[in-house]
Chain A
Amino acid sequence: MNSQNILEVHDLAISFRTVAGTVNAIRGVDLDVKRGKTLAIVGESGSGKSVTVKSIAGIIAGNGVLNGGTALYAMRDKDGNEKVIDLLKLPKKEMRHNINGTHIAIVFQDPLASLNPTMTIGAQIAESMTFHHLYSHAEAHRRTLELLDMVGIAEPERRVRNYPHQLSGGMRQRVVIAIALACEPDILICDEPTTALDVTIQARILELITELQRKMGITVIYITHDLGVVATVADDVAVMYAGRIIEKGTVDDIFYDPKHPYTWGLLSSMPDMDDTSDMLYTIPGNPPNLLHPVVGDAFAPRNAYAMGIDFRKEPPLFKVSDTHYAATWLLDERAPKVEMPKELQRRLARIMKEAQ
């Protein structure tokens, strides 16, 4: 395992048994998460981004079946000794006691659903700490106040006794973040934490997360469909489509030099503030129904640049640079040279200039 990585996922494959049949939600995912950095996983509905991280955290739904793959986690215990374990092979009980909360923590989308309406927020923050026997009650209380302050909640002594319904949406999400950070985890997973919040509140939560990451050196995995959010928080990006990673690289790679037609489509779908074009370049159609087996490239039916081979064989990840990979047959040496759509080229030129 590469020493820079805290988490390495290889060949992850997960399916779900439903009344209508078997849904192949994840069809071979490889991910490297660098220690202390932020990885953003981008995708639309049905891409499998949530399922991927839930499998790492051991909280897949009951009808989920692990069909293969490993998730190697370089765990450092209190004395600094490092041990590599496969999270997918751990029994549930060990996951709950030793990993969830203490090493890996998750922040979900809806803060109201993540908080127990019948417990004070102070009790909920302290609960994690006392459950994992990290602190005594008195120490946990002191640390709770510290955490509330750290996540930017004013007057922590008063707020500790509040119930979730007495707080605004943004404050609730801060409390959820405090709960997640209570036991000082190595990895913080954020599953669309700001989608339900107003854009001004979102901006502040994003600010908070980046600040905390810098201060505490945590590794953050951020799931979102909003490319603006990705540009703000991410160091590395993985773009998912129909259960596979179709492009991954540093955030500069993806935004300034994208190679996959789906990524082109995603970037073009969002008008930026200086867009004067007449129509947005869009990807037509909908993501595929994963109840049916996929032959070839799952994106082919919607791909203006699709070739014969896209309907027959699934493209492997082609190397663009040491950091940048894309799964498209367009990168094969036999493929015709294709440039990204004109509107996207123009926009990239424009934002490169803006960045100067």
Chain B
Amino acid sequence: MEKEPLLKVAGLKQYFRINRHFTVKAVDDVSFEVYPGEIYGLVGESGSGKSTIGRTVIRLYKPTEGRIEFEGMDISGPMDAKTEEALHTKMQMIFQDPVASLNPRKKVLDIVAQGLDIHGLVTSRSEREDRVADMLRKVGLAQEHITRYPHQFSGGQRQRIGIARALIMDPDLIIADEAISALDVSVQAQVVNLMKRIQQETGMAFIFIAHDLSMVKYLCSRIGVLHYGHIVETGTSEEIFGNPVHPYTRSLLSANPSPNPKVARTRKILHYDYATSGIDYNEGALRDAGGTHRVLATEEEFYQWTH
């Protein structure tokens, strides 16, 4: 990749202090880059820190440590008005829960137009309505839905409204935080197709946060695998799925149920337990496994796993 990264995260740490004795290290020294127009996947299970990374990047939280650069601007510390404006318009987020992500007391028109209202991007009521109607059409919803309330829609339709809300701002980067996890299988496919189509038409970049490996492999060109707040392996889709090196990645892949009965039945599951494995993520560094493929390991571990 010779282009400049759209988003550069370096040494990000996000710790949450519960009380005097206990701090949750949700994100522990994570670094990655997202290039314009690509779909980058963050994969992990619960507790891996993937959602926290998304929320910290969009500055819902203040990072404990580390540096986040978006379009060349530093957004990890206090920001000036211009930087904040760019952050809130050029970077958008789609949330997981279709029920909770839309204000139940607001009409769809007001929900989708919210960004336009806040940043004063429309000058007349009719322009506002037109732009919202246009966006709803783009995501596959009828224009008449503008005056309705969220509870009158199904889960998949609500997610589309959430996408319309993000899309109307014409962002450069969209963070999809488990945006399809709460939907039925056939509806997931609809939303995934929509995201792919948007990406092809507009060249937006996505960060796709998920735990479903098949969807991640299908959608994303580059992937980071997260476990307990660390990126344990990163690379292109082909590199990671074709040649998984880290034992966590390998156990994750083996556990993914295959929709092929004959294969599913005979599959051997690789068990991996961090606590008893003897591995300490804090000791490892990212080692080169060919191309853009990197693995978090100490020298001995790396040697072991690749031979």
Instruction: Please say whether the chains A and B touch (CB closer than 8 A).
Output: yes
Residues of A within 8 A of B (CB): 44-45, 198-200, 202-204, 206-207, 225-232, 234, 251-252, 255-256, 265-273, 275, 278-284, 286, 351, 354-355
Apart from the given pairs A256-B261, A270-B259, A271-B214, 20 other A-B contacts in the complex at a CB distance below 8 Å = A44-B184, A44-B185, A198-B45, A198-B46, A198-B211, A199-B213, A200-B272, A203-B257, A204-B271, A225-B184, A226-B185, A227-B185, A229-B257, A230-B259, A231-B265, A232-B265, A269-B185, A270-B185, A286-B157, A351-B263
Q: Which of B21-29, B119-127, B186-194, B201-209 forms contacts with chain A?
A: B186-194
- Report chain B residues within 8 Å CB of A256: 261
Among the listed stretches B106-114, B171-179, B247-255, which one makes contact with chain A, having 4 or more residues with CB under 8 Å of it?
A: B247-255
21 residue pairs of the A-B complex, CB under 8 angstroms, read: A45-B184, A199-B255, A203-B254, A203-B255, A203-B269, A206-B257, A230-B259, A232-B264, A269-B185, A269-B188, A271-B214, A271-B218, A273-B217, A279-B197, A280-B189, A280-B193, A281-B189, A283-B189, A286-B156, A351-B260, A354-B260
In angstroms, Cα B253 to Cα A62, docked, is: 43
Contact partner of B258 (CB less than 8 A), chosen from A228, A265, A268, is A228
Q: Are A279 and B196 in contact (CB under 8 A)?
A: yes
Across-interface contacts of A198 in B (CB, < 8 A): 45-46, 211
Q: Once the chains bind, are A272 and B258 in contact (CB under 8 Å)?
A: yes
Q: How far apart are the CA atoms of A234 and B265 in the complex, in Å?
A: 9
State the Cβ distance, A189 to closest chain B Cβ, in Å.
Answer: 20
> Using Cβ atoms and an 8 Å threshold, which residues of chain B touch A283?
186, 189-190
Q: Does B241 contact A (CB under 8 A)?
A: yes
With A198-B211, A284-B190, A286-B156 as given contacts, are A272 and B184 in contact (CB-CB < 8 Å)?
A: no
CB-based contact B257/A279 at 8 Å: no
Cβ-defined contact, B45 with A200, below 8 A = yes
Complex: A269 Cα to B185 Cα, angstroms: 7
Decide yes or no whether B256 CB sits under 8 A from chain A. Answer: yes
Q: Do A269 and B189 touch across chains, with their CB atoms under 8 A apart?
A: yes
Task: Decide: B185 and A355 in contact? CB cutoff 8 A.
Answer: no
Give the CA-CA distance A148 to B40 in the complex, in Å. 42
CA distance A30 to B262 in the complex (A): 27
Cα of A268 to Cα of B214 in the assembled complex, Å = 12
Q: Specify which of A44, A234, A286 lies most central, judged by the most chain B CB atoms within 10 Å of its CB.
A: A286
Closest to A286 in B: B154
How far does the alpha carbon of A225 sit from the alpha carbon of B157 in the complex, in Å?
A: 19
Contact residues of B: prevailing secondary structure:
helix
In the complex, the answer to whether A273 meets B241 with C-beta atoms within 8 Å is yes
> With an 8 A cutoff between CB atoms, is B146 at the interface?
no
Report Cα–Cα, A251/B259, bound state, in Å. 11
B215 within 8 A of A: yes
Q: How far is the CA of A7 from the CA of B256 in the complex (A)?
A: 31
Complex Cα distance, B189 from A269, in Å, reads 5
Which residue of chain A has the shortest Cβ distance to B154 in the bound complex?
A286
Contact: B218 with A282, CB < 8 Å? no
Contact yes or no, A200 B251, CB < 8 A? yes
Q: Closest Cβ of chain B: how far from A243's Cβ, in Å?
A: 16
Closest 3 CB pairs of A and B: A228-B257, A203-B255, A271-B218
Kindly identify, within residues 208 to 240 of chain B, every residue whose CB is under 8 Å from any CB belonging to chain A: 211, 213-215, 217-218
Do residues A270 and B214 form an inter-chain contact, with CB atoms below 8 A? yes
Q: How far is the CA of A271 from the CA of B269 in the complex (A)?
A: 21
The residue in A230, A278, A355 that gathers the most chain B C-beta atoms within 10 A of its C-beta is A355
Cβ B256 vs Cβ A228 within 8 A: yes
The answer to whether residues A268 and B189 also contact, given A226-B257, A228-B258, A255-B259 and a CB cut-off of 8 A, is yes
Residues of B within 8 A of A225 (CB): 184-185
Q: Which chain B residues lie closer than 8 Å to A265 at the CB level?
A: 186
A202–B267 alpha-carbon span in the complex (Å): 14
Q: How far is it, in angstroms, between the C-alpha of A317 and the C-alpha of B78 when the chains are bound?
A: 65
The closest CB in chain B to the CB of A199 belongs to: B255
Contacts of B258 in A (CB 8 A): 228, 231-232, 272-273
- Taken together as a complex, chains A and B put the C-alpha atoms of A44 and B192 apart, in Å, by 17
Least CB distance from A18 to B in Å reads 15
CB atoms of B218 and A269 under 8 A apart: no
Take A44-B185, A273-B241 as given contacts and tell me if A231 and B196 are in contact as well, using a CB distance cutoff of 8 Å. Answer: no
Residue of A with least CB distance to B252:
A200
- Cβ of B260: which chain A residues have Cβ within 8 Å of it? 231, 255, 272, 351, 354-355
User: Once bound together, how far apart are the Cα atoms of A284 and B255, in whole Å?
Assistant: 30
Measured CB to CB, the closest approach of chain A to B238, in angstroms, equals: 11
Residues of A within 8 A of B252 (CB): 199-200
Q: Smallest distance from the beta carbon of A209 to chain B beta carbons, Å?
A: 13
Measured CB to CB, the closest approach of chain B to A29, in angstroms, equals 20
Q: Is B184 a contact partner of A228 (Cβ separation < 8 A)? A: no
B45, B187, B252 interface centre (most CB from chain A within 10 Å): B187
**A residues within 8 A CB of B192?**
280
Cα distance A354–B261 in the bound complex, in angstroms: 11
Q: Name the contact of B269 in the complex, choosing from A44, A207, A275, A354 (C-beta under 8 A).
A: A207
Question: For A354, what are the chain B residues with a Cβ–Cβ distance below 8 Å?
Answer: 260, 263
